[in-house]
Structure 1
Amino acid sequence: MRRTTSHRNFFPTNSGGSSAISASGSSESPPPPDDESTKKVRKTGIAKVVAENSIVIVAVLGCFMCVTVNGLMQKLGVNPKIVEVKEAEKTATLVQLAKIEDGSGGPWELPAVYIGGKLLGGVDKVMETHLNGEFVPMLRAAGAIWL
């Protein structure tokens, strides 16, 4: 005959079976969310990050060009928000980024650099605007640098 008891958290458990409360009194961690709930968070997450941060770099994890763009910004005194995605998630991320641009297209490749919530472009556009002397004024206008 099994006896039901209540622990501190008032959830009944069977005394003969395993309990969610360990011997030390701490509960086990909940299982990680399934892939579907993670994808739903990401769908709204990138758009939210772009809207809330003055400088955002959406990059592929370990991409050399992404590191180069970040390095340039760091040397200019900018601390951009970096959203790194895995190579397998790259296409889905590009589709999400295209939705941010309200039908005017989106980035075709990563890294995608957003300044003040607007898409600047990839590494080629960042380097072009920097060499033309337009990059630092853009960063100032977005409030990323002060000098």
Structure 2
Amino acid sequence: MYSTIMMKKPSINKPLEGSNNKQPKPFLIHIKMTTVNSLLSENPVVVFSKTTCCISHSIIALIRKFGANPVIYELDELPNGNRIERELLELGCNPSVPAVFIGKKLVGGANELITLNLESKLKSLLINANAIWM
């Protein structure tokens, strides 16, 4: 499976107004995301983590507080962990861990999860993904 992202090449020297110089044309980047997508296929909550990341451990504890049982992939223990980490960075996870997917959708990292929790939105996301039942 490929994702296609439209981007514009950065331009250091912008053309002067009234000049005949044209803006750069968009180019396509094809990103192969088969590894991450395959790991998301059967699980309502997936967390990509590293064993040495204390923030990841806190986010996992937050998710478990609601009664959800996330599937956790410790990138530093997986043989293809570096490849998965690159895919997460390409998806916009910066830093790459923790990266939380709920209902096969990237929710984000620690900042996003904490914000959702403070806004009382995290529980409803977990319910809608069938990660918890009420």
Cα pair 1:54 1:117 within 8 Å, conserved:
yes
Letter in 2 for 1:73: I
Cα shift at 1:73: 1.2
Cα pair 2:51 2:76 within 8 Å, conserved:
yes
Structure 1 residue aligned with 2:131: 144
Cα pair 1:56 1:114 within 8 Å, conserved:
yes
The match for 2:86 among 95, 98, 116 is: 95
Cα shift at 1:86: 1.3
Q: Which has the higher contact order (CA 8 A, sep 6+)?
A: 2
SS at structure 2 position matched to 1:86? helix
Identical aligned residues as a percent: 30
From the CA coordinates, give the structure whose radius of gyration is larger: 1
Q: 1:117 to 1:128 in 2, by over 3 A?
A: same
Compute the RMSD of aligned alpha carbons: 2.1
The match for 2:41 among 27, 47, 51 is: 51
Unaligned runs of 5+ in 1: 1-42, 100-104
2:60 counterpart of 1:70? yes
Deviation per CA, 1:104-144: give whole Å up to 9, x if none: x4211110000011000001100000000110000000000
Unaligned runs of 5+ in 2: 1-32
- Richer in helix (by share): 1
